[in-house]
Structure 1
Amino acid sequence: MADPETAEDLLFKQQRKEKKDLQAKIQSMKNAVPKNDKKRRKQLAEDIAKLEAELSEKHEEELKQLNSSVLGDKADDLADGVQSLDLDADDPQPCKQRPSKAQKRRDKKAALEKERENRIAEAEVENLQGSRHLENQKLSQILGGKQLQIREIMSDGHCLYRAVEDQLLRRGCTLGLAELRSQTAQHMRSHAEEFLPFLTNPTSGDMFTPEEFEKYCSEVADTAAWGGQLELRALTQVLKIPIEVIQAESPTIVIGEEYRELPITLVYMRHAYGLGEHYNSVEPLKEEET
């Protein structure tokens, strides 16, 4: 027969459920915001961080209250034990030896370690069934058919440009991150009629004004603003090279098919990091070491 669940077990179970519910809510929030809407995605990141911080603070407070309750129970037990002592020397009663403070500390440490191991095991199972793991499996299959594998790119807002930079370097071109951003922004400014209709104010829903469009281009050039479809289009036109984007959940797309150069290949990952979207580069598939 299974041991009855303690108050600590019930609290951990409740907190795990609340974390899963929050992750589902966050995913729903992400899906509701267009990838090319930088302002709303920035606000989304702040909202998500706030939600996660509030839940973490709530869980910490619950643990403090639980520990206070446990300590109170132990104090009551100690008082009961003192009152039950028979101090009559003529009729001594056998006394059950209580665990020492050191033993209690060891028991508590062992219980916490066991809980930590259980959490790690649950996280590993969840990861194996989660979106990130499934996405990696699909991408490995697609890339394996092309004799390619993922080459990891830093997740710092520059991932699109760093992935393109990596691909160009393999062709002997040393065009760097700063130049790629600068030329992308300048090309968008010079061809505003091609890019402006796809940019809207997140509050009003109206198309960007010239001032808002100029600010957007400045962010492309001078900040770590994340790049998406518009920047990919601008990059192909700047480089005169097609860009092939492999993704797990949708067919591979090629931007800039009008150019005859061999495409450079990027991998688009929807579930790679906290906010999801991320670009990686690729490299030739390496044989697994025995």
Structure 2
Amino acid sequence: MEELQARHRKEQRDLQSQITQKKKQASKKTRKAVNEECDKLEVGLKQRHATEVAAMNGQGVEDANGQLEDLTLDGNGHEEEPAPNGTHQDENPQRNGSDVQNEDVGAQSKPKKGNRQKARLARRAAEQEELVKQAAEEAKNLPDLKQQERGRMLESMKERGLREKEIRADGHCLYSAVADQLEQLNIPIGTKPSSSPSVPIYRVVRAAAADYIEKHRDDYEPFLEEPLPDYLHKIRDTGEWGGQLELMALAKTYGTDINVLQDFGRVEKIESGSSKGDNENVMWLGYYKHGFGLGEHYNSLRKAG
């Protein structure tokens, strides 16, 4: 159950990241359709998680007729069988003392219902164990998306004369990767606050992105689904992941184009609109969708050699 819950949490994070990316890239015309698609993805994931948790707990197992079994237990944990009129046998208010006495005598001659309950629980446990085995076998046959993506990315880097500088997967990877690229291009990153000289360099890059978005709010607010001050707070002061909007702001801030190498050799170009954004003065980032535990990730790509 702990492994299942851990996988569910990771899938929820991955889906949330995917939804965030989709919504950031949506235009005014496509926003409604994208929101509907994201809602369907969330509902589908929740339903699948609920089904898997129910299966793990042995709930909702179908009987031979395809109907869900309905177990009613008495106070001792034994199964009660409903009376013909749909009420439980112990709910009849017409019983007198002799009826109760006769029932007690008859109960002594019948098998204990607890044995039936134990047998049913044992059968459910066996069915659940078989489901787990089947899931494990299916997992063996699934492709290793992480390994496949990694292999294709390395091949694409080789074709472009690039090598990878791995960045820590801590939520700040986009900003740390940009900081590394700025250092390689000898572009000033910015000034650390005098009151906090030991502030991490990625915080300076975060602040630069937030400052640009704040100054050009009319260009960015139509794409936000929350108030601008809240969004800027996440950029400046938290470990919120960066994405398309932040890359656009950083390209404008530092006056250099940004090339994002993705799986299958696709390159997404973020243009700065500056004359400095030439082939010799361009950032290269590597974007991974499956390669890291937190989900989406950026590494810095330096020139090989």
TM-score, normalised on structure 2? 0.52
Match in the other structure for 1:150 = 164
Q: 1:225 aligns with which of 221, 227, 240?
A: 240
Runs of 4+ displaced beyond 6 Å: 26-29, 42-49
Q: 1:61 aligns with which of 57, 68, 88?
A: 57
**Residue 165 in structure 1 maps to residue 179 in structure 2:** yes
Q: Is the 8 A contact 2:169 2:294 kept in 1?
A: no
- Residues 1:161 and 1:47: Cα distance change in structure 2 (over 3 Å): farther
Q: 1:178 aligns with which of 203, 215, 237?
A: 203
Match in the other structure for 1:264 = 283
- Residues 1:124 and 1:168: Cα distance change in structure 2 (over 3 Å): farther
| SS of residue in 1 equivalent to 2:297 | strand
Q: Is the 8 A contact 2:21 2:244 kept in 1?
A: no
Relative to total residues, which structure has the larger helix share, 1 or 2? 1
Could you list the per-position Cα deviations for residues 13-46 of structure 1 after superposition, in whole angstroms to 9, with x for gaps in the alignment?
A: xxx9xx9xxx8xx879946972428xx8x99998
Could you list the per-position Cα deviations for residues 166-193 of structure 1 after superposition, in whole angstroms to 9, with x for gaps in the alignment?
A: 3234456676111111121111111212
- Residues 1:31 and 1:46: Cα distance change in structure 2 (over 3 Å): closer
Map 1:243-262 to 2 at 5 A. Answer: 243-249=258-264, 250-256=266-272, 258-260=274-276, 262=281
Amino acid across the alignment from 2:152: K
**Residue 188 in structure 1 maps to residue 213 in structure 2:** yes
Amino acid across the alignment from 1:57: V
Match in the other structure for 1:237 = 252
> What root-mean-square deviation, in Å, do the aligned CA atoms of Structure 1 and Structure 2 show?
4.8
How many aligned residue pairs are there?
Answer: 212
TM-score, normalised on structure 1? 0.54
Q: Is the 8 A contact 2:255 2:273 kept in 1?
A: no
Identity, in percent, stands at 25
Q: 1:275 deviation in Å? A: 7.4
Q: Distance in 1 between matches of 2:203 and 2:53?
A: 40
Q: Unpaired segments of 5 or more residues in structure 1?
A: 1-15, 76-110, 202-207
Q: Unpaired segments of 5 or more residues in structure 2?
A: 26-34, 62-114, 123-128, 191-200
Q: 1:263 deviation in Å? A: 1.0
| SS of residue in 1 equivalent to 2:229 | helix
| SS of residue in 1 equivalent to 2:55 | helix
Could you list the per-position Cα deviations for residues 204-256 of structure 1 after superposition, in whole angstroms to 9, with x for gaps in the alignment?
A: xxxx6xxx112211221111222111111111222222211111254442432
